[in-house]
Structure 1
Amino acid sequence: MHARPLALAGLIAAAYAVAASPAAAGTLLDRARQALEETGDKIEKAADDAGREVRNFLVDNPDLNRDLVDLGKRLKLPGFDDAGPDAGAGLVAAPSPTAQGGSVTLGAVGLPGSTDVTIAAGPSVDAAEEIATATTSDRGTLQVTVTVPEDAAPDMPLVFVVETADKRVRVVSEAIPVVAAADIVRISGTLSKEGVECPALRGDDGMLYTLAIDGLGDFEPGDRVEVEGTPAEISICTQGTTLGVISMVALK
């Protein structure tokens, strides 16, 4: 959106000129007001073109929101002194708990649109190491499945960090526990069409299991499989017992 940097640059330049030359303040203040009005009009038009309310549009574009907050602070406008990061940005990791080598689905919102990001994991933000890269949607969302590092310690929490290449935006998940290999379960059964949010498995024990996995790959409902995973306490799935899938193999 080319209007954003041009409009903001014009507004900032006019505002600083007012401060530098009080004698010309009348004319320059008029220019600053005009630039502010034009900036608002262009943001409203961009939001309308995207089919979004302005508030939601700014949540979808945290870099733009941050520019506006920075401008308000520079001009010492009321209400901007304590402005913090955009509350709409966030990252959720599921299932929880997970296991070494298991799959975790990450869902993020409030990131810049169509932007390359790095994904890191570790016992803390400072100790997190890069495990994958991805690109956000044009609305600044991200949904991707990553593999838990094999060396993740079962007695330590695990956090995931998604960060833009320019380091301007970073979101961090809540810490999730890592379970030991001894806590992994194996369920045999038949993949079914009963899943609403997630793929489903009707176990040989008669129970319904939902699978926290990004698609079935080459499998389809009706296939007999054995799933290795961990029972999840928190999940985006809404049915049965959710398993964080480590592996799934075909049964004859």
Structure 2
Amino acid sequence: MQRLRNHLAAALLGASAAIATAGLAQAHPTGEPAGTVLVSEHAGDRYTRGRLVVRPAVAEIGSRVTLIGRDLRPGGLYVLAEGRNPQRLTRVRTVRADWNGRVYARVAVPEWARPDRNLFFALQTPGGRIAALARPIRVVDSDDDVSDRVTITGELLAPTATCPRLAGDDGRIYALAGSLRQFEAGDRVRVTGERAEVSICQQRNTIKVERIRSAE
């Protein structure tokens, strides 16, 4: 009789253990102990499509813009990239989101950007996936409110005795006061600067060169 009682007690104990184990396996299929917070390897996917805003929406070449990223992976590492279209982006630098999933950055509009064209900014994952893509900003040459500043596109001519000259696409000849960097006669360039009322060039249409770049 005592032996039968022992068998029944052992059977009940085994059944209870099996039920508890099954319940634990159902609650924690990975076998982690009770109380462990499980994070799926895909749990961060909701952060892979964040938001990115660039201000201002219109910017001059060489000026600085502010990028604000939101809804990113907290503490995540991203590559800040820029380009003329979203399919061909160039790496600028690496940034890290804060623990609220936000990124703040200040970058200069690159010299290769073209006036009256769009410029895109994006945040990419280290694997190259776009995590956030901003609406494009419009690139301009100069502040339209500054009447003395001009941007002229044309072909460099052989210099006179005093200053280099530019044959503008508007049909005028301009004297250029300032450095032409590596450019020389025959190159097509875009020159930004101020109209000079008095200069050593001794020519009416003289521009004090602030920036010169290829117009090819």
**Short-chain TM bin:** 0.3 to 0.5
TM-score normalized by structure 1? 0.41
Q: Give the strand-richer structure, 1 or 2.
A: 2
Structure showing greater radius of gyration is: 2
Q: Give the helix-richer structure, 1 or 2.
A: 1
TM-score normalized by structure 2? 0.47
